[in-house]
Structure 1
Amino acid sequence: MRQSLSRGVPLVAALLMGLSTMPTAVGSADAAAPGARPGSACAPHDRPTVPGAEHQQTACLPDLTTAGLAGTAYTDTADQAGLSAKGTKNPSGVPGLQIDGYFPDTSRSNATHGWRHDAQFVIRLPERWNDGLVVTGAPGTRKQYATDALISDQILALGYAYAATDKGNSGPDFFMDGKRPGDAVAEWNRRTTELTRAARKAVAQRYGHAPRRTYMTGISNGGYLTRWQLENHPELYDGGVDWEGALWTADGGGLLGSLPVTVARALGRATDEDLLKAGFAPGSQFLWPYHEKAYWGVTQKIYRAEFDPSYDPDCPGSSAGSTAPEILAPCASDADYDYAARPSSVHRAVRRVALTGRIGRPLITLHGDLDTLLPIATDSDVYERMVTGQGRSRLHRYYTVEGGTHVDSLYDTFPELLRPVLPCYRSAFTALVSWVEDGSAPPADRTIARPTGGDVVNSCALS
């Protein structure tokens, strides 16, 4: 167990610093997706132009999934590291068109393709299209290829077009983008809207008509984007699946409410009981050592720097750090951080990106009850109450995944205590499509029990 935990810290550090190594993999050909219809083969004359893009590159590829793209310039397996459990089965053999590019932007945190240009995106257009489009944004501080294995592979095999954005900034210094506190996160929402509109038009160019259904989805920060888009731009989407979305509300809670006590505990100034009182789940203590080393300190300091840079201008200062230990180290001052006591300007910065619960399209939320980065009690439990308070519960389903935590890779270390959330997410997406397209209501809100047997890595029944 100690060996597994110690390996995880350098892994997270590498992701934060944007280091990239891409091992090769061999693709395989699977049967075409049921219900998908064939489109014309890739040809120069039908390669679409992405409206508003400053730069784009288009490639006709024999396989758009990670099985075929690993080790090439068309994905980045390092940016996907740590998100899925070993043994996860993904489809492959989906030919089609891939468009990589970027929209106009002034920041330079994303060095993918050697472009050193933010607002990068990827759009994938399978040859056999089912008339749908799925849009997502990168989780955490990752980039546009981060959810290729989690989301893109399955979506493409079902016949959907797929589009993902780097959110306009990435890496542990994302908070340096923009002029005002909150600008970087506000850009996430703007870039997602921008990509959705552009991708819909690119799809129409490729296939001859706009998508008949457009879905928004994502994990962690991508889940936040899903909530925000369905609240603020329901006209663009038919529904969404929110996988443990981050919660931002002007009155506090969320990350800036739960994480300061973890810094205090690391400094010996808080107890385990204090973490439980702050909302961390009873029974999640076995996950705390890993999160203390790899997540808690860096997450608190970079998001506090985004919304409240004047609290401690010397930490993280102009950067979260240049080495892994510097990046992962907490700011000691964050042990005393009290969002409620901060000036109104800080609350206004958060209010710019805050969620309200006023969703305008069907939304399914999943959250693991052992999430130790975004505790369920201070996140999705709160969001569910917000949706209900807005009178939108008819549009919402909320599933608690027993034994689920923030990243599925931790299942490999604790298989007797955890379960991957990914198979439940895939079942939730299927349920969303049936809800939207067939009027088949998903199961009522519930806890999805952790199974005692079977293929827990690749199967999950919502009911």
Structure 2
Amino acid sequence: MRVSRGVPLIAVALLALTVPGPAPAWATAARDGRCAHQQRVHVPGAEFQERACLGDLTTSGLAGTPYTDMADQAGLTAQGTRHPSGVPGTQIDGYFPDDSHFNATHGWRHDAQFVIRLPDRWNGGLVVTGAPGTRKQYATDTAISDQVLAQGYAYAATDKGNSGPDFYRDGTRPGDAVAEWNARTTQLTRAAERAVAHRYGHAPRRTYMTGISNGGYLTRWQLENHPELYDGGLDWEGALWTEGGPNLLTSLPTAVARTLGRAGDEDMHAAGFAHGSEFLWPYHEKAYWGVTQKIYRAEFDPSYDTGCPGASAGSTAEQILAPCASDAAYDYASRPASVHRAVARVALTGRIGKPLITLHGDLDALLPKAADSDVYAQMIDASGRGRLHRYYTVLGGTHVDGLYDAYPQQLRPILPCYRSAFDVLTDWVERSTQPPADHAVGRPASGNVVNSCAVNADAPGR
């Protein structure tokens, strides 16, 4: 991990497209004259970058090309989700100086990778995000990039400086890897704003921070620590880290204990997992709870069980995802002060400095809202910043929209509500239109639940 500021540009590589016969739609834009003036656009501080002038910056045009990674987006959106297309512009891929090598995208094996997309028809704004979970820079192309590009925003995303289930190995002391996530997001925001100015002749008039899960955590942290960089933020079920709890290390041990037959439903409910979410628990036992507890415990408390440090304790997918037996008894409150200090380095305070909207599904079975966004909303209120915050609970929403396809009668995707909430945020910031008060967004009795949602005070289930 090495976060640099003000590093001079070391290399600029222009991507040459050699396409025999008729060019595919995503490449045709490189043949016309409008691309010539974009060759001087660059990202300050990048160690390496390459530019491409493309006919469509959305996943409709980029799927199957080197300019996105559909596999890294798997499970985040529901099948049947409609996505905009036909947004020509320039894409810049590259990386900032770093000494870790988890991200093998493009064969670079270099972390701190980013993507910046600059639409030809720009509305004057910039949207910044960081990867959810342990994914990489293209993870939210379908969920976030497509829509904001179609609205005319420039878009920038970072891999957070480390990725994959062994991300906790980055850095030299507990908490370093997560602390880098925040630094990389700040770094990219500053660089992207300058790249936008190079492209369009002036800096963004508005910059928004947003993200899903760990990207939601980044949104919260940025608005608390660097509000001068942003005009507002949209937090989609961000992870909560507080020094004294709650945090992932206070809720997940109960889930691990249940996986191992050492805890019952009543214990899960006491830990914050919602009544009614039980049908999701078997899936999370296999896919989320064990590995998530292992990797964050290894990040903040590496001495707890050196025989089962994290994902590296397994060599197969089943072994990596399986829980460590010792984690069923993990008690964050009783761990040494050094563990709490490590969490404190990245902890949230609720002291946001710009408008923030939070969305959270009531059936989230990884980050239960009772132990997460409910608490964060209380922290914001306690800090005297409640006027800057709106909190909408999406009834039937869970942590990843892809689960809707398996449980269409019990779940609803959050993405359409996220898109609606983004419009509410921009109206709040740019037109001083007061957003609806905190409320629950009910599942409509009819209509296209995959592609529509009204985040307003009259929504069913208020």
In the superposition, the TM-score normalised over structure 1's length comes to 0.91
Task: Please name the residue that 1:236 is paired with.
Answer: 229
Q: The residue matched to 1:382 in structure 2 has which SS?
A: helix
Q: Deviations over 1:106-146 (max 9, x none)?
A: 00000000000000000000000000000000000000000
**Contact in 2 for aligned 1:27/1:67 (Cα 8 Å):** no
Task: Please name the residue that 1:67 is paired with.
Answer: 60
Task: Please name the residue that 1:104 is paired with.
Answer: 97
Matched, 1:364 2:342: no
Distance in 2, matches of 1:225 and 1:109, equals 20
Match of 1:125 among 118, 128, 150: 118
Matching of residues 274-289 of structure 1 within 5 Å: 274-289=267-282
Q: Deviations over 1:323-380 (max 9, x none)?
A: 2012101111000000000000000000000000000000000000000000000000
Give the 4+ runs in structure 1 shifted more than 3 A: 44-47
Pairwise CA distance, 1:263: 1.1
Distance in 2, matches of 1:355 and 1:146, equals 24
Matched, 1:43 2:33: no
Report the more deviating stretch, 267-276 or 229-238: 267-276
Distance in 2, matches of 1:41 and 1:333, equals 60
Distance in 1, matches of 2:202 and 2:62, equals 28
Q: The residue matched to 2:393 in structure 1 has which SS?
A: strand
Q: Deviations over 1:373-401 (max 9, x none)?
A: 00000000000000000000000000000
Task: Please name the residue that 2:323 is paired with.
Answer: 330
Q: Which AA in structure 2 matches 1:162? A: Y
Distance in 2, matches of 1:358 and 1:78, equals 36
Distance in 2, matches of 1:299 and 1:45, equals 42
**Contact in 2 for aligned 1:27/1:92 (Cα 8 Å):** no
Distance in 1, matches of 2:318 and 2:403, equals 21
Structure 1 pair 405/236, CA: closer, same or farther in 2 (3 Å)?
Answer: same
**Contact in 1 for aligned 2:39/2:51 (Cα 8 Å):** no
Task: Please name the residue that 2:459 is paired with.
Answer: none
Structure 1 pair 27/323, CA: closer, same or farther in 2 (3 Å)?
Answer: farther
**Contact in 1 for aligned 2:116/2:157 (Cα 8 Å):** yes
Matching of residues 21-420 of structure 1 within 5 Å: 41-43=34-36, 46-316=39-309, 319-420=312-413
Q: Which AA in structure 1 matches 2:402? A: S
Pairwise CA distance, 1:47: 3.4
Pairwise CA distance, 1:452: 1.4
Pairwise CA distance, 1:262: 1.1
Distance in 2, matches of 1:220 and 1:145, equals 15
Pairwise CA distance, 1:322: 2.6
Q: Deviations over 1:443-463 (max 9, x none)?
A: 000000111110100100112
Pairwise CA distance, 1:254: 2.0
Pairwise CA distance, 1:44: 5.3
**Contact in 2 for aligned 1:172/1:320 (Cα 8 Å):** no
Task: Please name the residue that 1:13 is paired with.
Answer: none
Task: Please name the residue that 1:5 is paired with.
Answer: none
- Give the unaligned 5+ runs of structure 1: 1-25, 29-39
Task: Please name the residue that 1:449 is paired with.
Answer: 442
Distance in 1, matches of 2:207 and 2:343, equals 28
Pairwise CA distance, 1:266: 1.4
Q: Deviations over 1:32-77 (max 9, x none)?
A: xxxxxxxx93225543111100000100000000000000100000
**Contact in 2 for aligned 1:46/1:205 (Cα 8 Å):** no
Matched, 1:436 2:429: yes
Distance in 2, matches of 1:318 and 1:110, equals 16
Distance in 2, matches of 1:265 and 1:458, equals 35
Equivalences, count: 427
Distance in 1, matches of 2:120 and 2:383, equals 41
**Contact in 2 for aligned 1:181/1:309 (Cα 8 Å):** yes
Q: Which AA in structure 1 matches 2:209? A: M
In the superposition, the TM-score normalised over structure 2's length comes to 0.91
Distance in 2, matches of 1:180 and 1:389, equals 31
Q: Deviations over 1:17-40 (max 9, x none)?
A: xxxxxxxxx979xxxxxxxxxxx9
Q: Which AA in structure 1 matches 2:335? A: R
- Relative contact order higher in (CA < 8 Å, ≥ 6 apart): 1
Structure 1 pair 257/66, CA: closer, same or farther in 2 (3 Å)?
Answer: same
Q: Percent identity?
A: 77
Distance in 1, matches of 2:372 and 2:168, equals 22
Pairwise CA distance, 1:318: 8.1
Q: Deviations over 1:141-176 (max 9, x none)?
A: 000000000000000000000000000000000000
**Contact in 1 for aligned 2:311/2:321 (Cα 8 Å):** no
Structure 1 pair 317/280, CA: closer, same or farther in 2 (3 Å)?
Answer: closer
